[in-house]
Amino acid sequence: MTPQPRLARTRAIVLAAGLGTRMKSRLPKVLHPICGRPLIDYVLDAAEAASGSRPLVIWSPPVEAVRDAVASRAETALQAEPRGTGDALAAGLTGLATLAGDAPAELLVLSGDVPLVEADLLDALLAEHRAATAAVSLISVITADPGRLGRVVRDEDGEVERIIEAKDATEDELEIEEINSGLYAFDAGWVRARIGDLRPSAVTGEIYITDLVALARADGRAIGSIQVADDGTLDGINDRAQLAEATFAMQARINERHLLAGVTMLDPTTAHVDASVHLDADVTLEPNVSLRGSTRVAAGTTIGTGSLVVDTLIGRDCRILASVLESSEVEDSVQIGPFAHLRPGSSIGTGVKLGNFAEVKNSRLDAGVQQHHMSYIGDAQVGARTNIGAGTITANYDGKRKKRTTIGADAFIGVDTMLVAPVELGAGARTGAGAVVNRDVPAGKLAVGVPARLRDPRPEPEEPAPG
């Protein structure tokens, strides 16, 4: 769809003052995450793209966390006592009046709980609104299951006459299959003049934004409308089941974008990729992987079955299998897993190999280090090409403070070695099996025993000359 030209004075108002009691949650409804982002973030994306301006979000005291969550990207206005959508719009108009700059000529109004809405549809709504020179324009959905949603009532000529909320509807009106989506465009000047004429419902006591349609008809103004298919795109989130459905749909969008950009997913239905994750072309995701937060993966890397990667940078041509990586950096051509764990602050150099049950925390492993199995390296610096034997432990915590271990290049750490920090092993140093090293080991020396004693390593036997 070709984007429509924006007016310089178009503003979007996002209604987000409701608590969402059917979510059964202490967290405000619009802050529940979908693919790593609060669901309202997707609404703000669409609102900003369609209006070309910073949106205004309506909040109320029970959901004060909403105000704080959106403050970096939206203006906010308080609806002191939630009394319905019409009252929320009135709060928005008051909030807009306090902002610097010219008053907007037209308004987009969106619900903060409709995360699948896209800017193209809002562009089409604005185009219809302008073409009809309408006071109000809306998007409706034809559905066989209208449920609790407001019905769009049309006159004999097929023009929108009014919207009736389900709680106020008669039995005949409840049979109508055209429902209101909660997305509107308004002539800003007209709505400012008319917002004070809204009256509470005799049934619920709420002030409905939808009653503005009947007021526009009474003023002889046009009502613009667009009908769309019932494909779930405009469904609001009211409970955890609907949240799960929206998450599934959003994940499908995200995965399709990556697939079209050159990423291979062996089973896209089990690839869970947050909206904020960056994947280069020629990345491969095997089934049942989860990539979260600010993770970035470079070309040629395979993330193997059962892996969880959070806020981690992974270089080119790596292989990650059934492992957990958190807040770490991994350079090129690294092999990790199965069942390895990078804890926050780890930095893994080019060509490193980490195997079964290898754990690294807040440590740097230089290029070519091998830590194949059942070992823990914490708060350490490990030099290039060092071999970490099975069962090696850096005892980095004395009960009060974390202390560091430093290992030089080309060291050999024997199986079941315990390195009691703070301790330093020089380049080429070695430890015997089961050594407990609680003092520094100079370069080229061998530490053996409990506690470890220093020796010169035995000379390597000479290879026999070829016959």
- Catalytically annotated residues: 373
Distance CA 97, CA 214 (A): 25
* Sheet of 364-365, strand order: 278-279, 296-297, 313-314, 329-330, 347-348, 364-365, 380-382, 405-407, 423-425
Report residue 32: phi and psi, to 5°.
-65, 140
> β-pairing, 289-292 with 271-273?
parallel
- Helix (H/G/I), strand (E/B), else coil: 89: helix
Distance CA 261, CA 256 (A): 9
C-alpha pair distances (Å), 259 with each of 267, 279, 290: 11, 10, 16
Distance CA 19, CA 17 (A): 7
The residue behind tokens 């089934």 is 287
Give the orientation angle of helix 240-260 with respect to helix 39-51, to 10 degrees. Answer: 60
* Chain CA centroid to CA 363, Å: 27
Q: What is the DSSP letter of 4?
A: P
